[in-house]
A and B are shown apart, each in its own frame.
Chain A
Amino acid sequence: MTTAPAPHSAGSPVANPINLTVNGVGVGVPANSRVLDALRKAGFDVPTLCYDERVGPKGTCRMCLVEVEVDGRIETVASCTSFAAEDQKVETHSEELKDYRKTLLEMLLSETSAPKKFPESDDTAHSEFYRAVQEYDAKPGAVPLLERRAPAPDPNPFIQRDYDLCIACYRCTNICNEWEQAGAITVDGRGQDSKIFSFFNNNLLDSPCTFCGQCINTCPTGALTDRKLAGVDPHETEQTKTVCPYCGVGCGIELVTLDGELVGTKPDFSAPSRGSLCVKGQFASWEFVKSEQRLKYPLVRRNGILERATWDEALDLVAANFKKIVDEDGPDSIVCWASARVVTEANYLLQKFARVAIGTNNIDNCSRT
């Protein structure tokens, strides 16, 4: 028998904290924490355009660079890849660092047609890049615009890619290849010609894409968007945190509504599912709710045909028939079937209804079918 190695990911036991200072603020973090974790815990932030915590640090965008004092010497390191150390002194916003980030952002702006494409109403949730541009006052045109290759159209009904907004951060390819591991998209070309591509004519429907939507939700610029939400102004929408209506994983979702009507779904990154969804949760969790075929009124069978009825009529009919059957043949001649699709509270009420209002333990649910 071998013993299990010590658990090492989120949720596992915490080792001795490491104490360091960020911009003069003291903070304690668990062992194996990155400098990025420490500076965020201390209440600061830096742009992290290539970082998705599910994939882990890549250190390629260089936006999260910070100054760390080591043996009296200042070193500049990527905070996402460097480990926090005891007594470390971290500086996140020196003039030099701010200048550096501004220059990097201006270079990224030259890769995009972003200035034209950032309307005021742009989706801020998808615009980490735009927020960074504003924060560091990066100016479009400071570096001459690069010409970009026109992509082939992709007629899939779910994911829309706008190359004009792509800064080649590779978050989408990282999440696709390392987290979902679908291997649907890759980087094609080198240097300024590089762009995101999927095999077979760039048509995702012909690729191994599972349409999990993770790429949309990690994209920091809005280059990738949910086609079902196209044309919806994100500033006008509301989000409601709830749980996906499909399998037993129970991924957190946010239902997006516009004027009291469902228009889409986004992942809830604060949920234990950490923003992950599959094609059903991402793209199929709301249209059925607003289907015209929803039942809107009670129906009762009259002369063999189901016809519209009032609630009073329908409920009284249920009660009268159940009472009659109980009187004639006893409560065990009625069965109630609960649902794996409705809230636990309703299931509790139905089993209580069977046991108390009818008087039978004939209550079951679909867990066996």
Chain B
Amino acid sequence: MTNSIEELADSNLILVTGSNTTEAHPVIALRMKKAVRRGAKLIVIDPRKIELTKWADRHVQIKVGTDIPFYNAVANVIINEKLYDERYVATRTEGFEAFATHVQHYPPEYAAEICGVDVEDVYYVAREYANASPGAALCYTLGITEHSCGSHNVQSLANLGMLTGNFGAYAGGVNPLRGQNNVQGAGDAGAIPTDLPGYQKLEKAPIREKFEAAWDAPLPKRRGMTKITAMDQMIKGNVRGVFVMGENTVVSDPHANHAEHALKSAEFMVVQDIFLTDTARLADVVLPAAAFAESDGTFANSERRVQRVRPAVEPPGEARTDVDILLELFKRMGKPQSMSTPAEVWDELRRLAPILGGVTHERLDNGERLQWPCPTEDHPGTPYLHADEMDSGMPGFFAPVDHIPPAEEPDDEYPVLLTTGRRRSTYHTGTQTGRASGFDLLVPHEMCEINPSDAEAWGIEEGDTLVVSSRRGSVTVSAKVTERSPRGAAFMSFSFPELTRTNDVTSDAVDFITETPEFKACAVKIERAAEQNPEWRAAQRGIRLAGEVRMPTQLREQMPDHADEPVMADD
């Protein structure tokens, strides 16, 4: 995020797009709700009628995969009505003229047609967003990035942020909400095929030389493979060895059959994890690791805040911390390291990564709140980026982008567009929430959310067992009939892989720059299964999705009354 979570409560306007915030980031949603209560405007632009729309001044229900024409048209209005920040554009950006010409190809009427929205929605969003700027926050997440044009989607939003002077504005910014507890930290640490720690480009010789000196080793000059490329290369036999730390690739990656096939093709695979996941089952060596509650170190959150992780208990059996295991492996590879504790590892990282230079475990333990960039030990950290100039030191560049439809669109054979995402009470592949007592009462199994009129047309009722198939695979799942899904579109999460491995169905298309998979759009057909699962139907009754009120049900009346008994975790 360019800005801080807390600042959102002070925004003049919050534009949320491709983020089901109340479910995927509930505590960020609290700041949005606070802003609305204060009088700020909230605009939600999303194909689904998500819970957050209850708080919104306007919900613009665009079609899946039509973000770029929509935001180009918004830019068109902002420029043609001279609502943009001329001074900011003149002093802090480049490429405005070309961009202004480019968006003339996206008049509001044209975009509204592509996006399936009222043309007035385009004018509304443009005027409200520009007039509330600076100090209007744009928030997005995987609904923007998980497309084959994801990086261009992001660019279309960044263009709006620059037009309105929101980069560098308190309570403004363009804010990707990060999905996992330490996805930010993994990037910060340099676990990226193109970047050394601290986002320093390895293809720059002086950067590489600095690291070569510090690490006393020659470094490979060529950028590495992304996960997606690596899997293709496994199948071709060019990648023979794989080391996977804490990731259930087989279940979480798109086109799961392909991922599984790839990993099986690798000659030697090591998985370091806390459970014998579907991915670990394919490994040649499985290394038992400590969980977060047994580990010492740091996580970096979505707002670039480094926070301390502290062990509360010992790892089970012979399991060891990730840091210990890796240090041991260095030794066995003939490259012993002088570091032995997480604090020493952090110190090496911060000395090499200027953005983290001033962050120490000690400062964090003393209660200091530090967001990078924090270059020196007397630096207070940076709540929002680009304050006086763009963080890169260069002017912000308007990159014209064009509409690219999803790689796979519905057709006669596969007429429904499936989007995958998250629900509040389940998480990713279910290895954690699936083991929490009581959670089966909230969402007991996977559900495919479809619109009531589609359900009627297809002869499907709530709780029916469905077969959802795509060109890549098929899964069985129970039906959830809800207005949240627009007509012709369906939604599923991927948290119940034992019975419904959603990613058997998803598309293997990826963003052509970042290789982020297109989880948000694939074409499927949905049929009522020949064999119905009565247990699913029973459990389904009364399951409430966020934003809906659950009615009392027969199921719940039959539940034993254990109001006075403690419900303890079954171990």
Docked-complex contact A228 and B34, CB < 8 angstroms = no
Contact flags B293-318 to A (C-beta < 8 A → 1, else 0)? 11111111110011111111110111
Docked-complex contact A351 and B319, CB < 8 angstroms = no
Contacts A155-B563, A342-B182, A343-B296; A369 near B316 (Cβ below 8 A) = no
Docked-complex contact B273 and A7, CB < 8 angstroms = no
Contact for B230 among A250, A335, A340, CB less than 8 A? A335
Residues of A within 8 A of B546 (CB): 210
A359 to chain B, nearest CB (A): 6
A333-369 at interface with B (beta carbon < 8 Å): 333-369
Contact flags A317-328 to B (C-beta < 8 A → 1, else 0)? 111011101000
Docked-complex contact B285 and A260, CB < 8 angstroms = no
**Looking at A201, A294, A345, which has the most chain B CB atoms within 10 Å of its CB?**
A345
Docked-complex contact A369 and B296, CB < 8 angstroms = no
Docked-complex contact A369 and B268, CB < 8 angstroms = no
Contact for A231 among B215, B249, B295, B568, CB less than 8 A? B568
A361 to chain B, nearest CB (A): 3
Contacts A155-B563, A203-B556, A284-B436; A250 near B181 (Cβ below 8 A) = yes
Q: What separation, in Å, do the CA atoms of A294 and B5 have in the docked complex?
A: 34
The tally of residues in A whose CB lies under 8 Å from a CB in B reads 137
Q: Does B190 contact A (CB under 8 A)?
A: yes
Docked-complex contact B181 and A333, CB < 8 angstroms = no
Contact flags B277-301 to A (C-beta < 8 A → 1, else 0)? 0001101111111011111111111
Contact for A246 among B181, B320, B441, CB less than 8 A? B181
Residues of A within 8 A of B193 (CB): 361-364
Interface size class of B (residues with CB under 8 A): 35 or more
Contact for A314 among B172, B219, B285, CB less than 8 A? B285
Q: What separation, in Å, do the CA atoms of A153 and B330 have in the docked complex?
A: 58
Docked-complex contact B239 and A333, CB < 8 angstroms = yes
Q: Does B348 contact A (CB under 8 A)?
A: yes
Docked-complex contact A337 and B297, CB < 8 angstroms = no
A141 to chain B, nearest CB (A): 27
A123 to chain B, nearest CB (A): 14
Docked-complex contact A367 and B12, CB < 8 angstroms = no
Q: What separation, in Å, do the CA atoms of A361 and B222 have in the docked complex?
A: 7
Docked-complex contact A287 and B435, CB < 8 angstroms = yes
A362 to chain B, nearest CB (A): 4
Docked-complex contact A343 and B322, CB < 8 angstroms = yes
Q: Does A15 contact B (CB under 8 A)?
A: no
Contacts A315-B329, A361-B224; A240 near B183 (Cβ below 8 A) = no
Contacts A336-B243, A345-B323; A8 near B227 (Cβ below 8 A) = no
Q: Does A283 contact B (CB under 8 A)?
A: yes
Docked-complex contact B317 and A297, CB < 8 angstroms = yes
A64 to chain B, nearest CB (A): 23
Binds A, one of B60-68, B130-138, B524-532: B130-138
Q: Does B185 contact A (CB under 8 A)?
A: yes
Q: Does A241 contact B (CB under 8 A)?
A: yes
B73 to chain A, nearest CB (A): 20
Q: Does B191 contact A (CB under 8 A)?
A: yes
A262 to chain B, nearest CB (A): 6
Docked-complex contact B180 and A247, CB < 8 angstroms = yes
Residues of B within 8 A of A2 (CB): 12, 131-132
Interface of B, secondary structure class, is: loop
Q: What separation, in Å, do the CA atoms of A276 and B566 have in the docked complex?
A: 24
Residues of B within 8 A of A295 (CB): 273-276, 280, 286, 288-289, 317, 319
Q: What separation, in Å, do the CA atoms of A231 and B568 have in the docked complex?
A: 9
B273 to chain A, nearest CB (A): 7
Docked-complex contact A288 and B435, CB < 8 angstroms = yes
Docked-complex contact A352 and B25, CB < 8 angstroms = no
Q: Does B205 contact A (CB under 8 A)?
A: no
Q: Does A244 contact B (CB under 8 A)?
A: yes
B436-462 at interface with A (beta carbon < 8 Å): 436-439, 441-442
A94 to chain B, nearest CB (A): 34
Docked-complex contact B556 and A335, CB < 8 angstroms = no
Q: What separation, in Å, do the CA atoms of A314 and B24 have in the docked complex?
A: 38
Q: Does A249 contact B (CB under 8 A)?
A: yes
Residues of B within 8 A of A298 (CB): 285-288, 318
Contact for A342 among B188, B246, B287, B302, CB less than 8 A? B246
Contacts A1-B131, A250-B302; A321 near B30 (Cβ below 8 A) = no
Residues of A within 8 A of B284 (CB): 300-301, 317, 321
Contacts A208-B549, A249-B302; A348 near B439 (Cβ below 8 A) = no
Q: Does A5 contact B (CB under 8 A)?
A: yes
Docked-complex contact B431 and A288, CB < 8 angstroms = yes
Q: Does A17 contact B (CB under 8 A)?
A: no
Please give me the residue from chain B that is nearest to A201 by CB atom.
B552
Binds B, one of A26-34, A127-135, A176-184, A188-196: A176-184
Docked-complex contact A321 and B241, CB < 8 angstroms = yes
Q: Does B204 contact A (CB under 8 A)?
A: no
Binds B, one of A37-45, A105-113, A165-173, A266-274: A266-274
Q: Does B118 contact A (CB under 8 A)?
A: no
Residues of A within 8 A of B314 (CB): 260
Q: What separation, in Å, do the CA atoms of A279 and B253 have in the docked complex?
A: 25
Q: Does B226 contact A (CB under 8 A)?
A: yes
A291 to chain B, nearest CB (A): 5
Q: Does B93 contact A (CB under 8 A)?
A: no
Q: Does B100 contact A (CB under 8 A)?
A: no
A148 to chain B, nearest CB (A): 16
Residues of B within 8 A of A228 (CB): 437-438, 567-569
Q: Does A257 contact B (CB under 8 A)?
A: yes
Residues of A within 8 A of B318 (CB): 296-298, 311
Docked-complex contact A348 and B281, CB < 8 angstroms = no
Docked-complex contact A344 and B270, CB < 8 angstroms = no
Q: Does B475 contact A (CB under 8 A)?
A: no
Docked-complex contact A369 and B285, CB < 8 angstroms = no
Residues of A within 8 A of B293 (CB): 240, 242, 245, 255, 262, 286, 289
Contact flags B396-422 to A (C-beta < 8 A → 1, else 0)? 000000000000000000000000000
A1-39 at interface with B (beta carbon < 8 Å): 1-5, 7-12
Residues of A within 8 A of B268 (CB): 321-322, 325
Q: Does B161 contact A (CB under 8 A)?
A: no
B296 to chain A, nearest CB (A): 7
Q: What separation, in Å, do the CA atoms of A279 and B169 have in the docked complex?
A: 32
A281 to chain B, nearest CB (A): 8
Q: Does A316 contact B (CB under 8 A)?
A: yes
Q: A4-B134, A248-B179, A299-B288 are in contact. List 10 more A-B contacts (CB 8 A).
A: A205-B441, A206-B542, A206-B553, A228-B569, A247-B24, A337-B243, A343-B309, A349-B322, A350-B326, A357-B330
A–B Cβ pairs within 8 angstroms, 13 of them: A2-B131, A155-B556, A155-B561, A261-B313, A280-B433, A284-B427, A287-B569, A288-B436, A291-B275, A295-B319, A317-B285, A340-B183, A355-B220
